[in-house]
């Protein structure tokens, strides 16, 4: 195998390595869930150990993006379907939660109308549209945050996978899907707040969204949800179904001629992935305080794909790492020199596809190996089995 | 109008109009007539009963300055200054004072208190006769715009007394728009005051028209006040109803024509944007997400070239596009070739990776342009021959720039087809597309052909940018606005087929514009997108897909 | 040929009856008819473009015939079924290019292939039971890959991949097997071993082998059907068809 081939060969699933990474990931998530709120709430603000509230929300936001990355990795990294429309599922989940929080505002809006959200009063609407019914109840909103993205994914996937639309065609029409949704949500008469989207939320389940306690709890919930989703995805990937979808990625025709209905498997993973993205969106909106049609922009979905590519597709923890790291880089770069961010992002797209197709996590062993070999050259006796060819 | 009124005001006006015509039609009164200045002074001094005669003499001078003076007289803004008896036009200022201007020159001659001037007295009768005579003055003005205004005024007042004037003016009117307005006014007057036969003739005279005024006029005939028809004669009513219906039908047809034109225009824009994509995506199997940015580069090249023309040779500005076309082709083609050699060639056979890498390139290009030219829209001018519009009968405008773009896109399509089918390069390109190994074995430099093909696709995008700069904002986001649509065109039309791209672009453009009137622009677009998503299910390889084994491998 | 077809129609394993498929006016299959008996091994040969792959596409549900029928086991019409349904009926297909799951171990390849509930949720909760496990192990022995059990399939040699793919078909327990060029790219030793493997399978189930390699077909010693331009040119033993003037013309006369 040439160096290039080795670089591009898909990741082999080696359970041992994954287990260590999983343990690290879950420990980090647990630490964030417990320590960050503690350091925010109990340590006095002037202490060096104090975590300011904005950081709590920022971390929560990163973890939501990480969850979106996880969902994309499941469908792309494992099933080979490059969705350029996952931002749509994320946004739909966000809208579901946003609608609940709009209803929670009650008569505390600018117009003081207990029956209608402000933007509807402004549009001179007389009554609540039917699709807003039920969003007064939190459980209903949560179910919808999963159900609506799932339903969209089901309908879309059922139509496309059945007629064997695949590869770039599929990518392009997923992009058209999120684009069409963006145009639709920009319309005022859709009843989702048009341009401005949904915002000015007051509280969630009766807890003030501005309070440190609520934000801490939201962060902890995000950690728990992410850990849960991660474990679930891991279980799925390790199951026979997981190995099958990887087989579909590598040789779809063969799987079909083994007697599997490939479209059903794709559909299952696509819907599940959309629901995880929806959940991520639902957790994201209370922490950033707004959801608007901009979330549907095709560029957002593609950006999320690059988080996965940078983190390392085909490894669930890699996607999570990518989601957090790229967004951290974005915060830092846009804070310092905003013009550089797009250059950096574009550069990352190019570099990752050309030079690190396995992403950070995938390239890590090779990097470690390379460093070891350099050291090994200096001290010849140190060449242990570790210095041998990595993995494959 | 009762007979008595007619005798009192109407008849007088009638006479005046005739007289005015007699004076004005030769358009020669100005030199021979009396000095306007003395007449104005006379007007200030004359008693109420004499004023009419003075006004008539003023009109007889035919001088254009008469109009503002008479306007001031009618508007009761004409004064004599008590100190010296000079006639002035006064306008109330915010301080309750009067700003005085000279009626002849229009220059300001000071501000005075309202006590220091005396208003020149008028009565209703004088005012209305002056008004009428003013209509005739403007109707004979050498400026068609003034004549049009006058004719519109006549339509509004629909004064029977004006009928002879209208007839005379119609006889010598050359300007189509004014003539049109005059005919309308004539019909309106006839409908209101003519005999049943005249009314019928008036209705019939409107038959060829579709403008809103005539439709309102006709529909008014079909109204009832309580139980009484506004139009007593049944034949007239029936004819009016039929005429109105046929007007609506013709109007509907014209609207469809207009939407078709807009659709073809949108289609040709999409065709321009998608043609390059059909080559890179269709022929090479490369998903170039930076294709939109190639279009944008073309548009910015146009901007730069035009700036150069503006500062170096403003006289040759109309030629700037002729220079911009090859320049835009070169710029985009070079960037495209650089992209292909520097990045895409390492990714052949892995379309999803290509998609991501080219998206990265598109971000870099966008930001580069934003850094150089700033994030705001840039002004790109149109040469004179592209400005303006062709107006058709029913108030439908076909703008010239769109017409040129339609023609232009067809030319580009023809040129690309020629290159693909008739040149050695086209032959090599098709050979590499079909069987890379075999082509290489036969000595075709596949790498160079790849680069050139990509360059060609990108260059066409650059040309599209020149065309787009004429109808859209030139901003760093220009490309993003077209990328989804162009992909839809290629996917819909079928990959690897320029005629497919043509059919895809035209049907998308036309369907979009035909949907727009009843669905709205945004909803229409959403519907088209959804339709394409559904269409793909049925024909995953597009409208003009090749079928068979070769395509699937 | 139609005459022999009709005679054994009801008890045949596979009955292809007047199938025509055209792509943009080009007839890939032109009124193609032949019969495969239960337990029979049949070799199908023909020059490139004779329609061999399209024939298999039609039988396995990938391509729908424009005209004609494909009848399995006397009364099942395959024309309206998709791939998964065809496989469920007991028809397996090996591709021309060895297609195994390169990123899965040899064992996993067989586990994914072995006869089991094919529904999505069954796969999600599936645990490999002892029966299936022992069947996989014995198939590994049979295809000679027991030693490579836990290797990634991508690391196998070309010949080993071909065997693994045959093994993946065997664990499905099909009644009718289609093998598209099973010895393409194999060394002589590997080809010999494959002949052994196929002879060993003979009688166990119906097998249709599509091959270019005449020596291999000869070695199999079975009835041969020659395809040309989408229909049957000749049928009979290898010696018979080799002496058929039509066949000689098609293969040599150009």
State the smallest CA–CA distance between residue B401 and chain A in angstroms. Answer: 28
β strands within chain C, DSSP E: 14-23, 26-36, 41-45, 67-72, 76-77, 91-94, 176-180, 206-210, 223-228, 231-236
Residue B532 in domain: no
CB count, 10 Å around CB of B184? Answer: 22
DSSP letter, residue B284:
T
Neighbours of chain C (3+ CB pairs under 8 A): A, B
- Alpha carbons B210 and B201: distance in angstroms, whole number: 17
Same domain, B328 and B461: yes
Q: Which of A264, A243, A25 is nearest to A164 (CA)?
A: A264
Banded model confidence at residue A2, pLDDT cuts 50, 70, 90: very low
Residue A157 in domain: yes
Mean pLDDT of the region B217-232: 77
Share of chain A above pLDDT 90, in %: 38
Q: Minimum mean pLDDT among A320-329, B135-144, B346-355: which range? A: B135-144
Residue pair A264/A241 in contact by the 8 Å Cβ criterion: no
pLDDT at residue A60 is higher than 50? yes
Decide: residue A292, CB within 10 A, 0-12 exposed, 13-18 middle, 19+ buried: buried
- What local confidence, expressed as pLDDT, does residue A379 receive? 59
Q: Between A235 and B121, where is the model more confident?
A: A235
DSSP letter, residue A106:
G
Q: Going residue by residue through chain C, which has 254 residues, state the pLDDT in tens, using 9 for 90 and above.
A: 444 444 456 678 888 888 888 887 788 888 888 888 888 889 998 877 788 888 888 888 888 888 888 888 888 888 788 888 888 888 888 888 878 898 889 999 999 888 888 888 888 888 888 888 888 998 888 888 888 888 898 888 888 888 898 899 888 888 888 888 888 778 888 888 888 888 888 777 889 998 877 788 888 888 899 888 888 888 888 888 888 888 888 776 54
On whether any CB of chain B is under 8 Å from the CB of A253, the answer is no
- What local confidence, expressed as pLDDT, does residue B394 receive? 59
Q: Minimum mean pLDDT among A200-209, B156-165, C27-36: which range? A: B156-165
A259 to C111: CB separation less than 8 angstroms, yes or no: no
Query: At CB < 8 Å, which residues of chain B contact C?
Result: 546-549
Nearest chain A residue to C97 by CA distance is A254
Domain C94-172+184-205: state its class. alpha beta
Of B488, B522, B533, the CB nearest to A186: B522
A159 to B537: CB separation less than 8 angstroms, yes or no: yes
C123 to A244: CB separation less than 8 angstroms, yes or no: yes
Task: Tell me the per-residue pLDDT of B312-353, one tens digit each, with 9 for 90 and over.
Answer: 888 888 888 888 999 999 999 999 999 999 888 888 778 888
State the smallest CA–CA distance between residue C240 and chain B in angstroms. Answer: 32
Task: Tell me the per-residue pLDDT of B117-126, one tens digit each, with 9 for 90 and over.
Answer: 888 888 888 8
- Alpha carbons C196 and B163: distance in angstroms, whole number: 111
**Last residue of one domain, picked from the residues B474, B499, B524:** B499
What phi and psi, each to the nearest 5 degrees, are found at residue B113?
A: -75, 160
On whether any CB of chain B is under 8 Å from the CB of A235, the answer is no
Banded model confidence at residue A382, pLDDT cuts 50, 70, 90: very low
Nearest chain A residue to C124 by CA distance is A241
What phi and psi, each to the nearest 5 degrees, are found at residue C157?
A: -75, 170
Banded model confidence at residue A87, pLDDT cuts 50, 70, 90: very high
- Alpha carbons A370 and A378: distance in angstroms, whole number: 13
Task: Tell me the per-residue pLDDT of A102-116, one tens digit each, with 9 for 90 and over.
Answer: 888 888 888 888 788
Give the number of A-C residue pairs with CB atoms closer than 8 Å: 83
Residue B193 in domain: no
Nearest chain B residue to A156 by CA distance is B533
Chain C environment of A267 (Cβ under 8 Å): 120
Nearest chain C residue to B547 by CA distance is C23
State the smallest CA–CA distance between residue A143 and chain B in angstroms. Answer: 26
Residue A183 in domain: yes
**Last residue of one domain, picked from the residues A248, A272, A300:** A300
Task: Tell me the per-residue pLDDT of B461-470, one tens digit each, with 9 for 90 and over.
Answer: 999 999 888 8
Mean pLDDT of the region A375-385: 53
Nearest chain C residue to A12 by CA distance is C103
Of A82, A160, A349, the CB nearest to B360: A349
**Last residue of one domain, picked from the residues B121, B140, B159:** B140
Residue pair B361/A350 in contact by the 8 Å Cβ criterion: yes
C53 to B549: CB separation less than 8 angstroms, yes or no: yes
On whether any CB of chain C is under 8 Å from the CB of A269, the answer is no
Mean pLDDT of chain A: 85
- Alpha carbons A45 and A41: distance in angstroms, whole number: 9
Residue A178 in domain: yes
State the smallest CA–CA distance between residue B506 and chain C in angstroms. Answer: 25
Mean pLDDT of chain B: 80
Residue B487 in domain: yes
Domain boundaries of chain C, sorted by first residue? 94-172+184-205
Q: Which domain holds residue A374?
A: 364-392
Chain B environment of C24 (Cβ under 8 Å): 546-548
Q: Which domain holds residue B21?
A: 3-140
Nearest chain A residue to C96 by CA distance is A254
pLDDT at residue A383 is higher than 50? no
Residues recorded for chain B? 553
Nearest chain B residue to A300 by CA distance is B359
Task: Tell me the per-residue pLDDT of B489-531, one tens digit each, with 9 for 90 and over.
Answer: 888 887 667 888 888 899 888 888 888 877 777 888 888 888 8
Chain A from 163 to 192: CB within 8 A of any B CB:
163-165, 167-169, 171-173, 175-177, 179-180, 183-184, 186-187
Please state the domain count of chain A. 2
Q: Between B400 and B547, where is the model more confident?
A: B400
What phi and psi, each to the nearest 5 degrees, are found at residue A209?
A: -70, -20
Neighbours of chain B (3+ CB pairs under 8 A): A, C
Note the helical H segments in B343-445. 351-373, 400-422, 424-434, 436-441
Residue A4 in domain: no
State the smallest CA–CA distance between residue C53 and chain B in angstroms. Answer: 9
Task: Tell me the per-residue pLDDT of A173-198, one tens digit each, with 9 for 90 and over.
Answer: 898 899 989 989 998 888 898 888 89
Please state the domain count of chain B. 2
What are the distances in angstroms from CA B388 to CA A57, B141, B471, C15?
55, 25, 13, 72
- What local confidence, expressed as pLDDT, does residue B480 receive? 82
Neighbours of chain A (3+ CB pairs under 8 A): B, C
On whether any CB of chain C is under 8 Å from the CB of A265, the answer is yes
On whether any CB of chain A is under 8 Å from the CB of C189, the answer is no
On whether any CB of chain C is under 8 Å from the CB of A250, the answer is yes
Same domain, B125 and B264: no
- Alpha carbons C238 and C249: distance in angstroms, whole number: 16
Same domain, A102 and A190: yes
- Alpha carbons A43 and B143: distance in angstroms, whole number: 83
B547 to C23: CB separation less than 8 angstroms, yes or no: yes
DSSP letter, residue B6:
I
Report the DSSP pairing between strands C91-94 and C176-180: parallel
Q: Minimum mean pLDDT among A48-52, A69-73, B218-222, B395-399: which range? A: B395-399
Nearest chain C residue to A78 by CA distance is C103
Same domain, A53 and A171: yes
Same domain, A119 and A200: yes
Give the number of B-C residue pairs with CB atoms closer than 8 Å: 11
Task: Tell me the per-residue pLDDT of B435-448, one tens digit each, with 9 for 90 and over.
Answer: 778 888 888 888 88
Determine the 3-state secondary structure of A370 from DSSP: helix
Chain A environment of C168 (Cβ under 8 Å): 258
B549 to C23: CB separation less than 8 angstroms, yes or no: yes
Report the DSSP pairing between strands C206-210 and B87-92: unpaired
Q: Minimum mean pLDDT among A234-248, B101-115, B298-312, C230-244: which range? A: B101-115
- What local confidence, expressed as pLDDT, does residue B7 receive? 47
Chain C environment of B546 (Cβ under 8 Å): 24
- Alpha carbons B91 and B100: distance in angstroms, whole number: 6
A264 to C119: CB separation less than 8 angstroms, yes or no: yes
Mean pLDDT of the region A290-301: 91
B549 to C26: CB separation less than 8 angstroms, yes or no: no
Q: What is the DSSP string of A165-211?
A: --HHHHHHHHHHHHHHHHHHHHSGGGSS-GGG-EE---EETTEETTS
């Amino acid at each position: 195998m040439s160096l290039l081939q080795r670089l591009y060969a898909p990741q082999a699933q080696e359970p041992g390595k994954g287990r260590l990474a999983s343990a690290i990931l879950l420990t980090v998530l647990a630490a964030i869930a417990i320590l960050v709120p503690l350091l925010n709430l109990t340590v006095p603000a002037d202490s060096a150990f104090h975590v300011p509230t904005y950081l709590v929300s920022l971390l929560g936001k990163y973890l939501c993006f990480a969850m979106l990355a996880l969902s994309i990795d499941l469908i792309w990294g494992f099933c080979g379907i490059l969705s350029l429309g996952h931002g749509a599922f994320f946004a739909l989940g966000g809208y579901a939660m946003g609608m609940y929080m709009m209803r929670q505002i009650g008569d505390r809006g600018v117009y003081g109308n207990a029956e209608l959200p402000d933007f509807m009063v402004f549009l001179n609407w007389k009554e609540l549209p039917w699709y807003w019914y039920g969003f007064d109840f939190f459980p209903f909103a949560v179910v919808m945050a999963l159900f609506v993205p799932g339903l969209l994914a089901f309908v879309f996937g059922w139509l496309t996978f059945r007629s064997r639309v695949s590869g770039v065609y599929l990518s392009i029409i997923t992009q058209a899907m999120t684009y069409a949704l963006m145009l639709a949500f920009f319309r005022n008469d859709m009843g989702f707040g048009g341009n401005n989207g949904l915002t000015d939320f007051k509280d969630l389940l009766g807890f003030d969204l501005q309070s440190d306690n609520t934000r801490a709890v939201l962060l902890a919930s995000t950690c728990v949800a992410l850990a849960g989703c991660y474990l679930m995805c891991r279980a799925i990937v390790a199951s026979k179904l997981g190995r099958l979808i990887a087989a579909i990625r590598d040789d779809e025709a063969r799987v079909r001629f083994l007697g599997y209905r490939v479209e059903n498997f794709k559909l299952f993973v696509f819907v599940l992935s959309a629901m995880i993205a929806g959940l991520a969106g639902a957790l994201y909106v209370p922490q950033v305080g707004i959801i608007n049609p901009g979330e549907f922009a095709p560029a957002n979905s593609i950006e999320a794909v690059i988080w996965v590519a940078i983190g390392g597709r085909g490894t669930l923890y890699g996607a999570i790492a990518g989601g957090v790291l790229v967004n951290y880089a974005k915060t830092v770069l846009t804070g310092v020199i905003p013009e550089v961010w797009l250059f950096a992002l574009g550069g990352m797209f190019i570099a990752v596809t050309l030079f690190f197709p396995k992403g950070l996590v995938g390239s890590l062993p090779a990097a470690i190996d390379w460093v070891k070999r350099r050291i090994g050259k200096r001290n010849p006796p140190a060449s242990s089995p570790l210095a041998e060819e990595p993995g494959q | 109008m009762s007979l008595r009124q007619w005798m009192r005001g109407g008849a007088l006006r009638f006479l005046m109009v005739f007289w005015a015509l007699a004076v004005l039609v030769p358009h020669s009164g100005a030199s021979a007539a009396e000095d306007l200045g003395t007449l104005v002074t006379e007007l200030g001094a004359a008693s109420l009963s004499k004023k009419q005669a003075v006004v008539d003499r003023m009109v007889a001078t035919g001088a254009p300055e008469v109009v503002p003076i008479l306007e001031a007289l009618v508007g009761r803004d004409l004064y004599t200054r008590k100190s010296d008896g000079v006639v002035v036009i006064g306008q109330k200022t915010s301080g309750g004072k009067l700003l005085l201007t000279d009626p002849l020159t229009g220059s300001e001659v000071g501000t005075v208190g309202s006590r220091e001037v005396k208003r020149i007295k008028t009565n209703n009768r004088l005012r209305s006769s002056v008004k009428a005579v003013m209509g005739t003055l403007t109707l004979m003005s050498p400026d068609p715009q003034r004549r049009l205004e006058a004719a519109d005024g006549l339509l509004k007042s629909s004064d029977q007394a004006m009928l002879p004037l209208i007839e005379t003016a119609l006889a010598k009117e050359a300007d189509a728009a004014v003539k049109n307005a005059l005919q309308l006014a004539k019909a309106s007057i006839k409908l209101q005051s003519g005999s049943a036969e005249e009314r019928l003739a008036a209705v019939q005279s409107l038959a060829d028209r579709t403008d809103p005024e005539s439709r309102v006029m006709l529909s008014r005939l079909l109204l009832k006040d309580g139980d009484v028809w506004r139009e007593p004669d049944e034949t007239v009513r029936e004819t009016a109803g039929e005429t109105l219906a046929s007007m609506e039908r013709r109007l509907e047809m014209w609207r469809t024509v207009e939407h078709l034109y807009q659709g073809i225009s949108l289609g040709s824009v999409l065709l321009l944007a998608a043609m390059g994509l059909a080559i890179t995506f269709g022929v090479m199997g490369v998903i170039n997400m930076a294709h939109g940015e190639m279009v944008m580069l073309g548009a910015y090249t146009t901007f730069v070239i035009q700036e150069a023309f503006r500062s170096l040779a403003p006289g040759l500005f109309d030629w700037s596009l002729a220079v911009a076309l090859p320049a835009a082709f070169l710029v985009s083609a070079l960037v495209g070739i650089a992209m292909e050699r520097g990045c895409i060639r390492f990714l052949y056979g892995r379309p999803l990776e290509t998609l991501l890498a080219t998206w990265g390139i598109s971000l870099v290009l966008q930001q580069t342009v934003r850094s150089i030219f700033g994030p705001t829209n840039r002004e790109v001018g149109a040469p004179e021959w592209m400005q303006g519009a062709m107006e058709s009968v029913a108030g439908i405008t076909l703008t010239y720039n769109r017409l040129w773009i339609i023609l232009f896109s067809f030319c580009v399509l023809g040129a690309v087809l020629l290159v693909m089918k008739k040149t050695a390069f086209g032959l090599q390109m098709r050979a590499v597309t079909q069987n890379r190994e075999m082509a290489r074995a036969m000595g075709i430099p596949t790498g160079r052909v790849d680069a050139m093909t990509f360059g060609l696709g990108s260059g066409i995008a650059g040309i599209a940018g020149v065309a787009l700069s004429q109808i859209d904002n030139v901003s760093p986001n220009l490309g993003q606005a077209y990328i989804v649509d162009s992909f839809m065109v290629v996917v819909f039309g079928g990959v690897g087929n320029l005629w497919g791209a043509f059919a895809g672009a035209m049907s998308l453009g036309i369907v979009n514009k035909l949907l727009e009137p009843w669905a709205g622009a945004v909803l229409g677009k959403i519907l088209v997108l959804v339709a394409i998503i559904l269409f793909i299910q049925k024909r995953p390889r597009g409208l003009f897909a090749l079928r068979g084994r070769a395509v699937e491998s | 040929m139609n005459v022999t077809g009709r005679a054994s129609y009801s008890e045949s394993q596979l009955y292809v009856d007047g199938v025509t498929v055209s792509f943009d006016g080009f007839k890939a299959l032109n009124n193609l008819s032949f019969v495969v008996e239960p337990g029979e091994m049949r070799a199908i040969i023909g020059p490139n473009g004779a329609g061999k792959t399209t024939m298999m596409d039609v039988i396995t549900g990938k391509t729908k015939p424009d005209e004609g029928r494909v009848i399995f086991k006397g009364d099942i019409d395959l024309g309206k079924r998709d791939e998964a349904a065809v496989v469920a009926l007991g028809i397996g297909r090996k591709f021309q290019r060895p297609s195994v799951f390169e990123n899965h171990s040899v064992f996993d390849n067989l586990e994914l292939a072995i006869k089991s509930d094919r529904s999505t949720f069954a796969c999600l909760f599936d645990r490999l039971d002892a029966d299936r496990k022992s069947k996989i192990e014995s198939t590994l022995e049979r295809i000679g890959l027991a030693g490579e059990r836990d290797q990634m399939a991508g690391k196998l040699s070309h010949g080993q991949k071909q065997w693994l793919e045959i093994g993946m078909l065997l664990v499905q327990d099909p009644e009718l097997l289609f093998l598209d060029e099973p010895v393409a790219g194999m060394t002589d030793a590997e080809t010999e071993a494959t002949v052994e493997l196929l002879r060993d399978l003979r009688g166990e189930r119906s097998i249709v082998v599509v091959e270019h390699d005449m020596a291999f077909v000869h070695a199999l010693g079975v009835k041969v059907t020659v395809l040309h331009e989408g229909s049957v040119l000749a049928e009979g033993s290898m010696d018979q068809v080799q002496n058929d003037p039509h066949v000689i013309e098609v293969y040599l006369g150009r």
